[in-house]
Amino acid sequence: MVKKVVSGNYAAAYAAKHARVEVVAAYPITPQTSIIEKIAEFIANGESDIQYVPVESEHSAMAACIGASATGARAFTATSAQGLALMHEMLHWASGARLPIVMVDVNRAMAPPWSVWDDQTDSLAQRDTGWMQFYAENNQEVYDGVLMAFKVAEHKDVQLPAMIIESAFILSHTYAIVDMPPQEEIDEFLPPRKPLYTLTDFDNPIAVGALATPADYYEFRYKIAKAMEKAKEVIKEVGKEFGERFGRDYSQMIELYKTEDADIVFMGMGSLMGTVKEAVDVLRREGYKVGAAKVRWFRPFPSEELYELAKNVQGIAVLDRNFSFGQEGILFNEAKGVLYNTDAKPIMKDYIVGIGGRDFTVEDVKKIANDMLKIVESGKLDEEVDWFHLKR
Amino acid sequence: MIEIRFHGRGGQGAVTAANILAEAAFSEGKYVQAFPFFGVERRGAPVTAFTRIDEKPIRIKTQIYEPDVVVVLDPSLLESVDVTAGLKEDGIVVVNTEKSKEEVLASLKKKPKKLALVDATSIALEVLGLPITNTSILGAVAKATGVVKIDSVEGAIKETFSGELGEKNAKAARKAFEDTVVYEI
């Protein structure tokens, strides 16, 4: 193992290199990140023979990845916020063609007003594109996530693209220790891609991007739905294998922290959950029975794991670093939906936190714990959605 | 956990200083985290950067509000920024300045337990030929805090800048380490 002190962005770039990515297509200008700069540096230094295709927009970046992936290559790209939004159309083309492209999105708030800070709304707005989504808590998870994502995405029963998501600045520009396994061990874990079909297999020609009439389109959608369902099993298998090989287990799609005897659980995604775990330890020392549930994979959604958690707790405080206008926080909305037809009925409240990079601290988690305790004890939910940091 | 806050101006390398300090502590087997204040700084504008050092993995992802150590790379910031905001009771302040202890103390809102002064600008000009103080100030940090050894700082500098540039910057850090005067307040 080599341990390096690297930013989240560099962790992503190293992971792409170690995954032996063959093609990277990217738009190299704002809002592009240092992920692509680092990959370009690897190539310039002769450390990597990745084919780098600089293109004129994020839309074209994804189009080039689609072309590369359709020929059987392992393709990778990275973007952020407005760039991801511009890619939106092509995201559907990637999943519809069942291409296992992996992309890192640096979670940034959408403009206007301009912001370069952390916010999950950019990636969650791509919820229905047929991409898998993994939210990283720290730089190590950015690195591990990219390696696992290729293995899951390329699995013959999945064949869907995956997005690894890291917080702007909080991970992307923060230097922390990342443990990188030896290349031979990564190669064993992630052998070269074996595509089921390719555009360049001239003995078995295929059509990509064809028309499907109402007689067939429906079945194509069903197959994606089934593949996404199957991906849950594959994610757990791959996460377990990763743990056995490298010592970091990802067999759970929701990572549970001190939830066994917890009355209240904080549930959220991404980097803010590191702070929440720290706060759980502080609160436990003060006698609070609290725990944390970190939703690693948002797509496919870990409904069964959520149910298992929810049936044993009194309250779930959902921490949404995102918002769906006209409704509520997106994780809250999903989690409530999952539990509706079950016997698990914890009280749930949605705390809108950290949007646009607002700092979310241990003190904030304490305040939420006290608010939630009051609600659980009285059995009365004062409001479903709390704009927690609002200047009043 | 030790939390360190750097104050500099855009272009002086405060962010690099925070990273090199983390690298130095990492080389001693510590867990580390280093990050800039998440802003859109421009050359010359006040900049903040942070380093956390601990014996165990660091999970917390917030900014640093109550630092153990404050490092000031640019003496003019003492007039415009409250550099001691949130400083812990037994906190340490390290300042690049040619001023006296009394003059610096008069401009601090909160009295630190220890004050370390070094004329890092003169050292940088002499050794590097440039007024970039991020590497020399780390020599002062090593001396004032003992949080890392000067050898580790030199190693991390050479790791960050290759060849002659690394050697010169390491030399600047060593000279600052020797020249720094630490006062118990």
Each of the 392 residues of chain A gets a pLDDT tens digit; together they read 799 999 999 999 999 999 999 999 999 998 999 999 999 999 999 999 999 999 999 999 999 999 999 999 999 999 999 999 999 999 999 999 999 999 999 999 999 999 999 999 999 999 999 999 999 999 999 999 999 999 999 999 999 999 999 999 999 999 999 999 999 999 999 999 999 999 999 999 999 989 999 999 999 999 999 999 999 999 999 999 999 999 999 999 999 999 999 999 999 999 999 999 999 999 999 999 999 999 999 999 999 999 999 999 999 999 999 999 999 999 999 999 999 999 999 999 999 999 999 999 999 999 999 999 999 999 999 999 999 999 98
Q: Judging by DSSP bridges, how do beta strands A51-54 and A347-352 pair with one another?
A: unpaired
Q: Which ipTM was obtained for this model?
A: 0.93
Backbone angles phi, psi at A140, to 5 degrees: -60, -40
Q: How many angstroms separate the CA atoms of B84 and B108, rounded?
A: 7
Backbone angles phi, psi at A21, to 5 degrees: -60, 140
| For chain B, domain boundaries | 2-184
Cβ-defined contact of B26 to A138 (cutoff 8 Å): no
Cβ-defined contact of A272 to B61 (cutoff 8 Å): yes
CB atoms under 10 Å from CB of B103, counted, come to 13
Q: What are the CA-CA distances from residue A248 to residues A87, A163, B158 (Å)?
A: 32, 20, 32
DSSP A357: G
Q: How many angstroms separate the CA atoms of A137 and A294, rounded?
A: 8
Is B127 within 8 Å of B172 (Cβ atoms)? yes
Strand residue runs (E) in chain B: 2-9, 31-36, 46-54, 69-72, 92-96, 114-118, 181-184
Cβ-defined contact of A274 to B59 (cutoff 8 Å): yes
Q: Which domains occur in chain A, in start order?
A: 2-246 (3.40.50.970), 254-387 (3.40.50.920)
* pLDDT value for A294: 98
B32 contacts in chain A (CB < 8 Å):
5, 175-177
- Tell me the pLDDT band of B40, cut-offs 50, 70 and 90: low
Quick check: A117 contacting B, CB < 8 Å? Answer: yes
Query: What are the pLDDT digits (tens) for B117-131?
Result: 999 999 999 999 999
Quick check: A282 contacting B, CB < 8 Å? Answer: no
Q: What are the CA-CA distances from residue A109 to residues A10, A34, A170, A333 (Å)?
A: 21, 18, 13, 20
| pLDDT at B39 > cutoff 80 | no
| pLDDT at B10 > cutoff 90 | no
Cβ-defined contact of B34 to A174 (cutoff 8 Å): yes
Q: B145 CA to chain A: closest CA distance, Å?
A: 21
Nearest to B62 among A116, A275, A277 (CB): A275
Cβ-defined contact of A275 to B19 (cutoff 8 Å): no
Angle at A25 between CA A19 and CA A28, to 5 degrees: 115
Backbone angles phi, psi at A135, to 5 degrees: -105, 120
pTM given for the model: 0.96
* pLDDT value for B41: 64
- SS3 at position A121: helix
- Structure tokens belonging to residue B7: 């104050």
DSSP character string of A316-346: EEEEES---TTS--HHHHHHHHHHHTSS---
Residue A302: CB partners within 8 Å, gap ≥ 6?
A232, A253, A254, A295
**Single-letter amino acid, residue A368:** I
Q: What stretch of H or E contains A78?
A: strand A75-80
Find, in chain B, the residue whose alpha carbon is nearest to that of A139. B33
Q: Which of A2, A4, A5 to mutate to test the interface with B (most CBs of B within 10 A)?
A: A5
Quick check: A389 contacting B, CB < 8 Å? Answer: no
Q: What are the CA-CA distances from residue A22 to residues A84, A148, A302, A380 (Å)?
A: 22, 17, 31, 55
Nearest to B63 among A168, A272, A359 (CB): A359
Q: Which residues pair with A23 in a beta bridge?
A: A51, A75
- How high does pLDDT run on average in chain B? 95
CATH of B2-184, one of 3.40.50.720, 3.30.360.10, 3.30.930.10, 3.40.920.10: 3.40.920.10
Cβ-defined contact of B38 to A177 (cutoff 8 Å): no
Q: Which of A10, A140, A175, A364 to mutate to test the interface with B (most CBs of B within 10 A)?
A: A175
The counts of H helices and E strands in chain B are: 7, 7
Q: Which of B20, B61, B157, B160 to mutate to test the interface with A (most CBs of A within 10 A)?
A: B61
- Tell me the pLDDT band of B45, cut-offs 50, 70 and 90: confident
Q: In B, what residues contact A, Cβ < 8 A? A: 18-19, 22-23, 26, 31-36, 38, 40, 58-63, 65
CB atoms under 10 Å from CB of A207, counted, come to 7
A116 contacts in chain B (CB < 8 Å):
40
